[in-house]
Amino acid sequence: MRTARVIPCLDVDRGRVVKGTQFVELRDAGDPVELAARYDSEGADEIVFLDITASSEERDTMVEVVRRTAEQVFIPLTVGGGIRNLDDARRLLRAGADKVSVNTAAVERPELVGELAAELGAQCVVVAIDARRRVGEGGPGERLSWEVVTHGGRRPTGRDAVAWAAHCAATGAGELLVTSMDADGTGAGFDIELLRAVTEACSVPVIASGGVGDLDHLVAGVVDGGADAVLAATIFHFGRHSVAEAKEHLAALGVAVRPAPGAQEPVEQARG
Amino acid sequence: MSPDGRGRIVVLDYGIGNLRSAEKGLQHVDADARLATDPRDVAGAAGVVLPGVGAFGPCMAALRRTGLADAALGAINAGVPFLGICVGLQMLCTSSAETPGAAGLGVIDATVVPLPEGVKHPQMQWNKLVARSGPGQESGSRSRMLAGIPEGSWMYFVHSFAPEITGETVAVCDYGGTVCAAVERGVVWGTQFHPEKSGRPGLAVLANFRDLVEEQGTSVPRAS
């Protein structure tokens, strides 16, 4: 049985979750460790920490956050942001991360993906791809295409996102985290055509990211986009929906998921 | 036994992958667990855990190069409880289709085969355990490893290969077909899933192993 994963993403700046949260029971809503534990208890299938700390001197803070999280949270933990080389990746894995996510460093030096996979195993290596739609002539029959961008979408790279995804999958990425920079922050839903193009071009698991505004968007990412996992930040952080609600909604619309702890398992069809 | 009465469990660290998770998971269930990088660290251990990620061949080569393959076999031959996780389970088998020609430890009489066709490789997701009574077990009897773990518990898997199903398979999952999820041969246990990453039911597997270690009370003899 193929089951979709639901992955809350926490943006962490100097050891604190940013973007704000509204969990009233939490003593300290900005503590990534506490939030990760909360999401775990709600049935999150994995947790992603994205270190958005600007200065490299403060990266040790993230290692400490990972260490503290790994002592309490026993589901897979992916850490991205600022990972430039094998040593950076190793430090995070030693602290207790299960996977590392690379983005800009891989675009600048594509061999990095293979180097990480050879040392750490492909299952540890997530390549994050930020993609923006190319504006074409718009003629009928023109194929859609996307360009890889970095630095929060500010820097175009000239690379075709789908070709880059296929290249990463072929050279050692165990998984791809695909974010639409057009959709990100809009709440209007994933870029389904982007997801479809990437999932058709690559055999490794794809995490859909960018644009989730309601629970139907999660369903569309899996059903229409072909994604293996859906990642969201805002809808969970602001208390609009719990991870448990997300899973109930997916299950109700026919997407197989691991139920949240304490939730009723759907009755399985009798095997014929 | 360590001075506080708990048996020391060593997690074999042969230089590949992230082994901290297994160590931390065991420590979370109050096991006296630590990493062992040298065969001498294994002597005196009351339990041995062999984790593994990546490919079968490189893992086997690293295990042999560090001398930890012989240490693992020494522990198993002495009747010390042993837990293989993911590729750690696969290395207990005889060989793997992933790396033809590379011999496994041969403790479990099974070869390692690819996941069924028609589904994404790797399986990187949670999946439901289905307990299975092999021909060697009485019908309906539950494995020691899965004692107290409800039928249908969800575990986290990351793999493209798994041991073939034999009489020692105690749990399977459904992924494009029936796939081996756990193997038990006396005090030698193996999980294709990651108990250290599978939340509460996964930690329960590690707690069962801790209990086995304490009850068994055997330890690895020092090399003469």
Question: Which among B16, B17, B156 has CB closest to A75?
Answer: B156
3 state DSSP class of A174: coil
| pLDDT exceeds 80 at position A22 | no
Q: Tell me, what amino acid is at B71?
A: A
Task: Go through chain B and tell me how many residues it has.
Answer: 224
Contact A261 B54 (CB under 8 A): no
Spell out, as residue ranges, where chain B has pLDDT lower than 70: 1-6, 17, 133-142, 223-224
A216, B48, B185, B187, B209 from B190: Cα distances, Å: 39, 12, 9, 10, 11
Contact A3 B125 (CB under 8 A): yes
Nearest CA to CA, how far is A223 from chain B (Å)? 15
Q: Which tens digit of pLDDT belongs to each residue from A30-70?
A: 889 999 999 999 999 999 999 988 777 778 899 999 999 99
Q: Tell me, what amino acid is at B149?
A: I
Query: What is residue A269's predicted lDDT score, i.e. its pLDDT?
Result: 43
Question: Which among B20, B120, B156 has CB closest to A228?
Answer: B120
Q: Does domain B9-216 have CATH number 3.40.50.880?
A: yes
B104 touching A (Cβ < 8 Å): no
A152: which residues sit within 8 A by CB, 6+ positions away?
A130
pTM of the entire predicted model: 0.93
3 state DSSP class of A72: coil
Q: B-contacting residues of A 165-224, CB under 8 Å? A: 174-175, 203-205
Domain ranges of chain B: 9-216
Contact A123 B120 (CB under 8 A): no
Q: What is the ipTM of this complex?
A: 0.91
Residues of chain B with C-beta less than 8 angstroms from the C-beta of A98: 18, 21, 197
Q: Which tens digit of pLDDT belongs to each residue from B172-217?
A: 999 999 999 999 999 999 999 999 999 999 999 999 999 999 999 8
Confidence of residue A145 (pLDDT cuts 50, 70, 90): very high
Cα torsion for A57, A60, A61, A64, to the nearest 10°? Answer: 180
Residue with tokens 């798994």: B162
B90 touching A (Cβ < 8 Å): no
Q: Which tens digit of pLDDT belongs to each residue from A95-131?
A: 999 999 999 999 999 999 999 998 888 989 999 999 9
3 state DSSP class of A16: strand
Contact B175 A1 (CB under 8 A): yes
Q: Which tens digit of pLDDT belongs to each residue from A183-213?
A: 998 899 999 999 999 999 999 999 999 999 9
Please give the Cα distance from B200 to B197 (Å, whole number). 9
Closest Cα to residue A133, out of A151, A119, A120, A148?
A148
B21 touching A (Cβ < 8 Å): yes
Q: Is position A11 annotated as part of the catalytic site?
A: yes
Name the E strands within B22-147.
32-36, 47-50, 82-85, 95-96, 111-114, 123-128, 130-131
Please, what sign has the CA dihedral across residues B35, B38, B43, B48? positive
Q: Which helix (H) or strand (E) covers residue A171, if one does?
A: helix A161-171
Contact B21 A124 (CB under 8 A): no
Please give the Cα distance from B20 to A187 (Å, whole number). 37
Task: Write out the two tokens for A129.
Answer: 């791809």
- Both ends of chain B: CA-CA distance in Å? 20
